């Protein structure tokens, strides 16, 4: 079979990225735009979302900015409806929005902190997938949903690295949503996969984490992460581009219900 040069081309596609104001979400939006997609960027953080919009407009693609809270069903419905009414379709959805709370031991986790993270990281993906799938079913030509989980959706975390059971539970849950969505809608051409990154520099979660840690705690954390990662470093956001493009494009038309771990070897030992 001859090689298809346009295998990774997203020209004519419309992609939605949640949590697109900064970090991984911004990087994902840039990758999709560079590959030819028109992009809907959504986030609750309007100021940083404005910055992402400015960056994407330089890529020559259509950009639609929507301020939305993915834990709010009305916001999610509006987000998807506005995407369709303005850009006509939804081909790709990257459910990336996520938050953390301060680190405490399992038995010390406050119910309000548990609920806060679960509402965004897990319920937010559930609500988004519901609307995305509904639209893709109506369109009748399938689509690709990419959920952003974490390496902590597969394993627990060393207590020395200040784990948060609410975050870990939410990211495990995202994998369940991914697999069930894939099984239920595969026959309709809707593919649902997950990316599970480990420790990446420049993410919004890293920024939020640093706000609640001392410099000494940050340094000790970095030393421990490096020691436990076979590649001995954090990942770079650009190192997720190829995997995202693979899952968003026709290069992965027979892949669904899978978890793609990108972790520098973290889970290999």
Mean pLDDT of 239-261: 97
Q: Would the pLDDT of 51 be above 90?
A: yes
Mean pLDDT of 2-7: 66
Residue 105 lies in a domain: yes
User: Could you report the per-residue pLDDT of 60-77, keeping only the tens digit for each?
Assistant: 899 999 999 999 999 999
What is the Cα–Cα distance from 16 to 79, expressed in whole angstroms?
A: 9
Q: For residue 78, give every residue at least 6 positions away whose Cβ sits within 8 Å of its Cβ, in sequence order, or none.
A: 66, 68
Counted domains in the chain: 1
Residue 230 lies in a domain: yes
Mean pLDDT of 87-114: 97
Q: Would the pLDDT of 249 be above 80?
A: yes
Q: Would the pLDDT of 217 be above 80?
A: no
pLDDT, position 65? 98
What range does the domain containing 148 cover? 14-262
User: Could you report the per-residue pLDDT of 146-161, keeping only the tens digit for each?
Assistant: 999 999 999 999 888 8
pLDDT, position 204? 63
Q: Would the pLDDT of 127 be above 70?
A: yes
- Token readout for 9 is 């081309």
What is the Cα–Cα distance from 23 to 18, expressed in whole angstroms?
A: 11
Of 191, 208, 150, nearest to 22 (Cα)? 208
Cα torsion for 172, 177, 180, 183, to the nearest 10°?
A: -110
Q: What is the CATH number of the domain that holds 137?
A: 3.40.50.720
Residue 160 lies in a domain: yes
Task: Give ∠ CA 174-160-205 in degrees, rounded to 5.
Answer: 45
Q: How confident is the model at residue 3 (pLDDT cuts 50, 70, 90)?
A: low
Catalytic residue among 66, 144, 147, 167: 167
pLDDT, position 69? 98
**Over the chain, what HEC string results?**
CCCCCCCCCCCCCEEEEECCCCHHHHHHHHHHHHCCCEEEEEECCHHHHHHHHHHHHCCCCCEEEEECCCCCHHHHHHHHHHHHHHHCCCCEEEECCCCCCCCCCHHHCCHHHHHHHHHHHHHHHHHHHHHHHHHHHHHCCCEEEEEECCHHHCCCCCHHHCCCHHHHHHHHHHHHHHHHHHHHHHHHCEEEEEEEECCECCCHHHHHHHHCCCHHHHHHHHHHHHHHCCCCCCECHHHHHHHHHHHHCHHHCCCCCCEEEECCCHHHC
Q: For residue 222, give every residue at least 6 positions away whose Cβ sits within 8 Å of its Cβ, in sequence order, or none.
A: none
pTM of the predicted protein model: 0.94
User: Chain-wide mean pLDDT for the chain?
Assistant: 93
Q: How confident is the model at residue 221 (pLDDT cuts 50, 70, 90)?
A: confident
167 catalytically annotated = yes
pLDDT, position 215? 77
Residue 238 lies in a domain: yes
- Token readout for 231 is 């590649």
pLDDT, position 24? 96
What is the Cα–Cα distance from 143 to 129, expressed in whole angstroms?
A: 12
Q: Would the pLDDT of 53 be above 50?
A: yes
Q: Would the pLDDT of 212 be above 70?
A: no
Residue 7 lies in a domain: no
Residue 5 lies in a domain: no
């Amino acid at each position: 079979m001859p090689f298809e040069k346009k295998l990774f081309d997203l020209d004519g596609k419309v992609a939605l990225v949640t949590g697109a104001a900064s970090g991984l979400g911004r990087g994902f939006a840039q990758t999709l735009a560079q590959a030819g997609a028109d992009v809907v960027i959504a986030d609750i953080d309007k100021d940083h979302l404005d910055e992402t919009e400015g960056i994407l407009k330089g890529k020559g693609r259509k950009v639609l900015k929507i301020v939305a809270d993915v834990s709010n069903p009305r916001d999610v419905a509006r987000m998807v409806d506005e995407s369709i009414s303005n850009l006509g379709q939804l081909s790709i959805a990257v459910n990336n929005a996520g938050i953390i709370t301060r680190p405490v031991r399992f038995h010390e986790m406050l119910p309000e902190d548990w609920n806060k993270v679960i509402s965004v990281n897990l319920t937010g993906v559930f609500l988004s997938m519901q609307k995305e799938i509904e639209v893709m079913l109506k369109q009748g030509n399938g689509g690709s949903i990419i959920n952003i989980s974490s390496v902590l959706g597969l394993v627990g975390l060393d207590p020395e690295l200040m784990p948060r059971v609410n975050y870990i539970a939410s990211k495990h849950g995202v994998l369940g949503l991914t697999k069930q969505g894939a099984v239920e809608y595969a026959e309709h051409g809707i593919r649902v996969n997950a990316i599970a990154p480990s420790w990446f520099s420049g993410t919004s979660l890293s920024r939020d984490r640093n706000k609640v840690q001392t410099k000494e705690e940050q340094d000790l954390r970095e030393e421990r992460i490096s020691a436990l990662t076979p590649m001995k470093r954090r990942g770079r956001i650009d190192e997720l581009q190829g995997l995202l493009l693979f899952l968003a494009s026709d290069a992965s038309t027979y892949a669904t219900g899978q978890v793609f771990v990108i972790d520098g070897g973290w889970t290999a030992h």
